[in-house]
């Protein structure tokens, strides 16, 4: 049994080890080790396109995780008190948003938005005051954040709702019996209870967005996210720069993961 | 400016280049000794294209995005461009004209320069995706020094939309080590051996023109055929050969280099690069025919940094720079001035400049193949088969 | 402000978001799937079932997806279950958290980079070179369905381990002790107690992996060399190469319908197996 587990761990870590190993390659090929060097880390960090892609990815991940957490939590709370067709419709939408493959979301968003923009842009141009350059709607960071937020929001609703369902009704009832305003009840009773779930939803959303390739591939317009950069580099014939980027991303996510774990443990203790 | 530099002998140049590529000298040494150093060092001030307006260099912004094909440039030239203008060059690599066209059709791409092939330019004009070029911004472009065969597709209805980068042919690269030292010489042999001795070791491009084209050549049809019956024959062959292929990809160099694959449809420059590093890989043209093509530099309508785009194209057209590009990518130039700078070894290279009788059966790609729905769907069926 | 108004206000942003980013795009895809290919690519509005009639041309892509997705899911399950069992039942609690985190960590690296590692490992200079060393020559791994399967298992293993672990961890250890006290063989204890109780975890893990595999594009693209085609690859091809939006839309609609049907049948089966539907939550 233990041997089996060790084998699975080997399977999981050999490829990562290979990536990390070649990131220290002194040669310029990603498949032949030619001495030890950290130069590819320097190269990656001083490459403005890598840094730009990283910045774009972080921006997109942070914005969409934030929007998803806020709007998702709002929806989850509201759905607690709603029954009937609206509730059913929302449940359906959430189900569809999570179920539909990323590639279909990417394609649908691309052709949907391109079609809508083609209709709207001339309209905006005619409405715009003479002499000013009318704004032009198009694919880019906005559309990418919007697409990510859409399916991440569904994820947050599911996570937060699970926590809300496990919450003791008596607590909120007691609170309103004590004449707390609904807002007060929410801030002092509900929010602290569901906060770990919101945080978990935020972190999960952040990772999903940061890692997403396929939606961004279609929706990002002229923006380049880190996964898009990596994808086009893999096709270009890779240098160890890509390995260095991968190793750094892994190290940073590991750090974030541990931090999040510690935060969640603390949060769990508090609410207990 | 080009007259100020003392050229070293062509032979010396090639030797130095070899040494540079093998890593025994630094880039700076290489650039200095070959005179290219002087060229790069004084670029900002003396390359004609960058001179007209002193503020030009800072005006073009801090970046320019180039959409191009795999293994198609000398990275050192981009570094030189950045040094001279402050603008970083982002290289996005694509596998086919179809993919570039699809990206441009779907909306803004962020590209400032791209490299369409001769047969696509007409369609880009029709679709209103390509910017007419202002030659005043391309002082290094001297139309009279280009061979019209490889430059004429850049103009549509008298308007200049694209300037020639280089031309080339599409043949096949074969690792002769696995065929008792014998190269192959026709598309018939290409597909036959792929299904036999080279089963699991051959690659075809992942776009319609050349893959369907060579299957058409196999049957003795025109490379550009859109005749449904001829296409049906080509499809039959492709479906039959598919289980024997190693991969369907336009980035075939890695697999050829590491020995996974032994045979591929190949552009002449990639053939040259492979042959230089691994002499047993030969580049050959199909006896039945094949593609002769010319790639161009152009600016997409949607570019937001057109000045930077012009600056990059102009820089790359400088004969001195262009010559180093040719040395790196191994495709022949249509520019007399650049040709004059090439070492004799390259001018006489049978891969770059094949004998005329080998070129005769080749055809330029026809615009109709790009938009023909049957060819597009055939290719898609082949890939998903 | 009544509670009703408040709830509406709270729902409004999410509702608007779903409308603009989900309902409208999906409707456009649905409408386009009845259109025709424009001469230069794109779509012209029409009302024709031509695109759907052309679906058999992508039969292989559907077939590949519908075979490799279940095989991949099952293989991941078979590899993940013993590990999850080991972690939940056999591991010293002191080591549990760290070992569990070690399973998730690879999942936090981009799947692109992880698959890229396999391009090297399965390529001519990787495992085949090792095999040659021990005398097995001419083994080709990269660009085969096997390579894609390895990539799939590798990519989604953590997603399978985790839910199974959670369900096994919840299991009351006293049950197992009681069973062995009553003289049951370990195997019988496993089949009669452990396995049935871990079905919710299995169901969740399988569904997660299966859903992701149905829309997979990257792993076949990177490890299949253009030869192992999933529906996802056919879709990218239709939109980014042959620019046939109408047919692409029809393929997308079909994929979604096939998926919804498969998952619904799957959930029915699972609930019949004894797990209640609520246990098979998405997350």
**For residues B16-33, average pLDDT:** 50
Q: Tell me which chain C residue has its CA closest to the CA of residue A159.
A: C283
pLDDT of res. B114: 96
Q: Between A60 and A32, whose confidence is greater?
A: A60
pLDDT of residue B57: 46
Q: Average pLDDT in the C129-158 region? A: 89
Contact across the interface for C105 and A257, Cβ inside 8 Å: yes
CB-nearest partner of A213 from C26, C27, C218: C218
Q: Are strands B162-175 and B281-284 parallel, antiparallel or unpaired?
A: antiparallel
Q: Could you report the per-residue pLDDT of C6-25, keeping only the tens digit for each?
A: 888 999 999 999 999 999 99
The residue behind tokens 């080009």 is B2
What confidence score (pLDDT) does residue C130 get?
87
pLDDT at C182 over 50: yes
pLDDT of residue B269: 93
Predicted pLDDT at C106 = 82
Q: How confident is the model at residue B5, as a pLDDT? A: 39
Of A75, A116, A242, the CB nearest to C14: A75
pLDDT at position B146? 95
Do A237 and B110 make contact, defined as CB atoms within 8 angstroms? no
pLDDT computed for residue A82 by the predictor: 85
The reply to whether C225 touches chain B by the CB within 8 Å rule is yes
- Work out the pLDDT band at A251, boundaries 50, 70, 90: confident
Could you tell me which residue, C1 or B148, shows the higher pLDDT?
B148
C 118-177 residues inside an 8 A Cβ radius of A: 118-121, 123, 125, 154, 157-158
Residues A135-154, mean pLDDT to the nearest whole number: 90
Query: Which residues in chain A have Cβ-Cβ distances shorter than 8 Å to C114?
Result: 15-16, 19
Is the pLDDT reported for residue C66 higher than 90?
yes
Interchain contact, A107 vs C114, CB within 8 Å? no
B contacts of C132 (beta carbons < 8 Å): none
Q: Which residues of A fall within a CB distance of 8 Å from C97? A: 261
Q: How many contacts does A have with C, using Cβ atoms within 8 A? A: 222
Q: Which residues of chain A are within 8 Å of residue C255 when distances are taken between CB atoms?
A: 101, 104
User: Rounded to 5 degrees, what are φ and ψ at A186?
Assistant: -60, -50
Ranges B64-78, C60-74, C102-116, most confident: C60-74
Taking CB atoms and an 8 Å limit, are B380 and C244 in contact across chains?
A: yes
- Using the beta-carbon criterion (under 8 Å), do C142 and B105 form an inter-chain contact? no
Inform me whether the pLDDT recorded for B103 exceeds 80. yes
Res. C132 pLDDT band, cuts 50 70 90: confident
**So what's the ipTM on this one?**
0.87
Q: Which residues of B touch C142 (CB under 8 A)?
A: 260
Lowest mean pLDDT among A180-184, B55-59, B300-304: B55-59
pLDDT in tens, B302-344: 998 999 999 999 999 999 999 999 998 999 999 999 999 999 9
A272 pLDDT more than 50: no
CA separation for the pair C250, C32 (Å, rounded): 8
Quick one: pLDDT at residue C1?
66
Percent of chain C residues past pLDDT 70, beyond the cut: 96
Nearest CA in chain A to C126: A31
Q: CB C241 to CB B96 under 8 A?
A: yes
Query: Which residue in chain C is spatially nearest to B97 when comparing CA positions?
Result: C241
Between the CA of residue C164 and those of A242, C158, C167, C192, what are the distances in Å? 34, 10, 5, 17
- In this structure, of B256-265, C76-85, C112-121, the range with the lowest mean pLDDT score is C112-121
Of the two residues C148 and C45, the one the predictor is more confident about is C148
What's the mean pLDDT in C200-212?
91
Q: Quick check: C185 contacting B, CB < 8 Å?
A: no
What is the DSSP-derived secondary structure letter of residue A134? P
CA distance linking residue A148 with residue A156, whole number of Å: 12
The nearest alpha carbon in chain C to B122 belongs to C40
Residue A31: pLDDT band by 50, 70, 90 thresholds?
A: low
Contact B260 C124 (CB under 8 A): yes
Give me the residue from B107, B253, B254 closest to A139, CB to CB: B107
Mean pLDDT over A158-173 rounds to 82
- C196 pLDDT band, cuts 50/70/90, is confident
The pLDDT, as a whole number, for residue B324 is 95
Q: Give the N- to C-terminal CA distance of chain B in Å, as an integer.
A: 56
Give the number of C-alpha atoms closer than 13 A to the C-alpha of residue B54, restricted to the C-beta side: 0
Closest residue on chain B to A109 (Cα):
B106
pLDDT of the residue at B17: 55
Question: What is the mean pLDDT of the segment spanning A151-172?
Answer: 86
How much is the average pLDDT of C236-249?
Answer: 90
Contact B47, B315 (CB under 8 A): yes
Task: For residue B108, give the nearest of A222, A224, A236 by CB distance.
Answer: A222
CA–CA dist C66, C72 (Å, integer): 10
* Mutation to test the C interface, candidates A20, A115, A183, most C Cβ within 10 Å: A115
- Which residues 320-349 of chain B have a CB within 8 Å of chain A? none
CB-nearest to C57 from B247, B248, B381 is B381
Report the residue from B92, B106, B108 with minimal CB separation from A232: B92
Residue B172: closest CA among B338, B329, B283:
B283
B71:A31 CB<8 A:
no
B63 contacts chain A (CB < 8 A) = yes
Q: Across the interface, which of C99, C123, C252 has its CB nearest the CB of A107?
A: C252
Report chain B's mean pLDDT, rounded to a whole number: 86
Q: Please write the tens of the pLDDT for every residue from A57-66.
A: 999 999 999 9
Strand partners, B264: B173, B203
- Position C277 scores a pLDDT of 40
- Which of C31, C57, C59 is closest to C253 using CA atoms? C31
Pairwise CB contact (< 8 Å): A114 & B107? yes
What's residue B268's pLDDT? 95
Q: Is the pLDDT at B232 greater than 90, yes or no?
A: yes
pLDDT at residue number B10: 52
Phi-psi sector, B115: left (phi>0), alpha (psi -120 to 50), beta: beta
Asked if B254's CB is within 8 angstroms of A222's CB, the reply is: no
Using CB atoms, pick whichever of A114, A138, A237 lies closest to residue B70. Answer: A237
Q: Residues B312, B81: contact at Cβ < 8 Å?
A: yes
Residue C131 has pLDDT above 70, yes or no: yes
Question: Between B62, B93, B108, which is nearest A221 by CB?
Answer: B108
User: Which range among A133-142, A207-216, B211-220, C243-252 shows the weakest confidence by mean pLDDT?
Assistant: A133-142
- The rounded mean pLDDT for chain A is 86
Q: Give the pLDDT of residue A246.
A: 87
- B66-100 per-position pLDDT tens digit: 999 888 998 889 989 999 998 988 888 888 898 89
Residue B221 confidence (pLDDT): 95
Disruptive mutation site among A13, A66, A71 for chain C (greatest number of C CBs within 10 Å):
A71
Within 8 A of A221 by CB-CB distance, chain B residues are 107-110
Residue B243 has pLDDT above 70, yes or no: yes
Any A CB within 8 A of B110 CB: yes
Q: Where are the alpha helices (DSSP H) in chain B?
A: 10-22, 27-34, 36-41, 43-46, 56-59, 75-85, 97-105, 121-126, 187-194, 208-218, 228-241, 253-257, 268-277, 306-317, 319-329, 336-341, 344-347, 356-359, 367-371, 373-384
**Residue C37: which pLDDT band, with cuts at 50, 70 and 90?**
confident
**Closest Cα of chain A to B236: distance in Å?**
29
Helix axes B208-218, B228-241, angle to 10 degrees: 100
Angstrom distance (rounded) from CA C172 to CA C131 = 46
| pLDDT over 80 at A176, yes or no | no
Look at the block and give the residue holding tokens 């080997």.
A10
**B125: number of Cβ within 10 Å:** 17
| pLDDT level of residue B18 (50, 70, 90 thresholds) | low
| Over residues B43-59, mean pLDDT | 41
B206 touches chain C (CB under 8 A): yes
Cross-chain Cβ contact B258/C41 below 8 Å: no
Does the structure show a pLDDT above 90 at C282? no
Residue of A nearest to C208 (CA): A99
Subunit partners of chain C (3 or more CB pairs within 8 A): A, B
C5 or B176: which leads in pLDDT: B176
pLDDT tens digit sequence for B356-385: 999 999 999 999 998 888 999 999 999 988
**What is the C-alpha separation between C248 and C242, in angstroms, rounded?**
10
Query: Is C105 in contact with A254 (Cβ distance < 8 A)?
Result: yes
The answer to whether the Cβ–Cβ distance between A111 and C32 falls below 8 Å is yes
Q: Is the pLDDT of residue B12 over 80?
A: no
pLDDT of res. A189: 82
Residues of B in contact with A223 (CB under 8 A): 110
């Amino acid at each position: 049994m233990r041997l089996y587990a060790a084998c699975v761990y080997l399977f999981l870590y050999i490829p990562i080890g290979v990536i990390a190993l070649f990131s220290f390659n002194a040669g310029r090929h990603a498949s032949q080790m030619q001495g030890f060097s950290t130069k590819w880390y320097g190269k990656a960090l001083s490459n403005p396109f890598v840094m730009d892609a990283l910045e774009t990815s972080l921006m997109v991940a942070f914005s969409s995780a934030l929007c998803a957490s806020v709007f998702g939590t709002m929806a989850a709370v509201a759905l607690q008190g709603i029954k009937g067709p609206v509730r059913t419709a929302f449940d359906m939408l959430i189900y569809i948003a999570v179920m539909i493959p990323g590639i279909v979301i990417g394609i649908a968003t691309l052709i949907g938005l391109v079609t809508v923009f083609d209709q709207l842009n001339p309209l905006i141009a005619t409405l715009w005051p003479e002499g000013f350059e009318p704004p032009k709607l198009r694919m880019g960071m906005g559309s990418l954040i919007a697409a990510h937020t859409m399916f991440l929001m569904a994820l947050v609703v599911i996570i937060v709702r699970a926590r809300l369902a496990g919450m003791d009704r008596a607590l909120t009832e007691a609170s309103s019996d004590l004449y707390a305003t609904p807002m007060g009840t929410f801030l002092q009773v509900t929010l602290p209870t569901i906060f770990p779930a919101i945080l978990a939803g935020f972190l999960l959303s952040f990772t999903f967005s940061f890692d997403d390739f396929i939606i961004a591939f279609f929706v990002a317009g002229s923006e380049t996210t880190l996964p898009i950069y990596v994808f086009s580099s893999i096709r270009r014939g890779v240098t160890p720069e890509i390995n260095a980027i991968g190793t750094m991303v892994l190290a940073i996510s590991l750090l974030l993961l541990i931090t999040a774990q510690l935060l969640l443990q603390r949060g769990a203790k508090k609410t207990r | 400016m080009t007259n100020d530099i003392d050229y070293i002998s062509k032979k010396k140049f090639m030797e130095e280049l070899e040494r540079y590529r093998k890593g025994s000298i630094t880039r700076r040494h290489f650039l200095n000794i070959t005179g290219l150093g002087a060229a790069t060092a004084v670029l900002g001030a003396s390359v004609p294209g960058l001179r007209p307006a002193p503020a030009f260099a800072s005006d073009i912004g801090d970046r320019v995005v180039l959409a191009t094909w795999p293994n198609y440039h000398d990275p050192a030239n981009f570094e030189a461009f950045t040094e001279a203008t402050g603008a970083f060059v982002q290289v996005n690599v694509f596998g086919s004209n179809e993919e570039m066209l699809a990206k441009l059709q779907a909306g803004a791409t962020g590209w400032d320069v791209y490299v369409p092939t001769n047969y696509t330019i007409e369609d880009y004009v029709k679709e209103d995706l390509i910017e007419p070029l202002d030659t005043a911004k391309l002082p290094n472009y001297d139309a009279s020094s280009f061979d019209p065969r490889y430059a004429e597709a850049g103009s549509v209805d008298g308007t200049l939309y694209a300037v020639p980068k280089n031309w080339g042919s599409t043949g096949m690269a074969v690792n002769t080590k696995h065929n008792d030292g014998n190269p192959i010489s026709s598309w018939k042999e290409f597909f036959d051996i792929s299904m036999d001795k080279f089963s699991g070791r051959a690659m075809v491009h992942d776009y319609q023109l050349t893959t369907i084209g060579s299957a058409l050549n196999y049957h003795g049809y025109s490379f550009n055929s859109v005749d449904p019956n001829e296409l049906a024959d080509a499809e039959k062959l492709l479906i039959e050969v598919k289980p024997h292929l190693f991969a369907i990809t336009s980035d075939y160099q890695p697999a050829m280099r590491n020995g996974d694959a032994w045979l591929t449809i190949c552009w002449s420059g990639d053939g040259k690069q492979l042959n230089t590093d691994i002499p047993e890989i030969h580049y050959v043209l199909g006896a039945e025919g094949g593609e002769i093509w010319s790639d161009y530099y152009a600016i997409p309508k949607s570019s937001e940094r057109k000045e930077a785009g012009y600056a990059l194209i102009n820089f790359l057209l400088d004969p001195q720079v262009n010559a180093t590009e040719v040395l790196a990518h191994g495709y022949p130039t249509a520019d007399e001035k650049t040709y004059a700078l090439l070492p004799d070894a390259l001018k006489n290279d049978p891969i770059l400049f094949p004998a005329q009788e080998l070129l005769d059966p080749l055809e330029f790609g026809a615009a109709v193949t790009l938009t023909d729905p049957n060819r597009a769907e055939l290719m898609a069926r082949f890939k998903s088969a | 402000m009544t509670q009703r108004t408040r709830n509406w206000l709270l729902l409004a942003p999410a509702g608007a978001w779903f409308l603009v980013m989900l309902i409208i795009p999906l409707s456009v895809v649905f409408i386009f799937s009845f259109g025709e290919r424009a001469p230069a690519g794109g779509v012209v509005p029409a009302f024709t079932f031509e695109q759907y009639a052309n679906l058999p041309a992508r039969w292989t892509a559907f077939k590949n997806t519908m075979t490799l997705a279940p095989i991949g899911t099952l293989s991941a399950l078979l590899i993940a279950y013993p590990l999850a069992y080991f972690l939940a039942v056999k591991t010293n609690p002191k080591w549990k958290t760290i070992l569990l985190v070690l399973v998730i960590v690879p999942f936090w690296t981009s799947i692109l980079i992880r698959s890229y590692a396999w391009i090297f490992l399965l390529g001519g200079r990787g495992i085949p070179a090792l095999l040659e060393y021990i005398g097995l020559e001419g083994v080709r791994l990269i660009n085969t369905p096997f390579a894609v399967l390895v990539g799939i298992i590798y990519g989604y293993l953590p997603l399978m381990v985790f839910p199974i672990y959670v369900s096994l961890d919840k299991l009351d250890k006293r049950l197992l002790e009681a069973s062995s006290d009553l003289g049951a063989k370990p195997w019988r204890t496993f089949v009669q107690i452990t396995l049935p109780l871990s079905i919710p975890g299995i169901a969740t893990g399988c569904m997660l992996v299966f859903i992701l595999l149905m829309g997979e594009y990257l792993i076949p693209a990177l490890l299949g060399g253009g030869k192992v085609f999933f529906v996802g690859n056919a879709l990218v091809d239709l939109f980014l190469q042959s620019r046939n939006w109408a047919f692409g839309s029809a393929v997308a609609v079909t994929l979604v319908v096939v998926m919804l049907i498969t998952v619904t049948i799957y959930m029915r089966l699972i609930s019949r197996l004894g797990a209640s539907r609520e246990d098979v939550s998405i997350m």
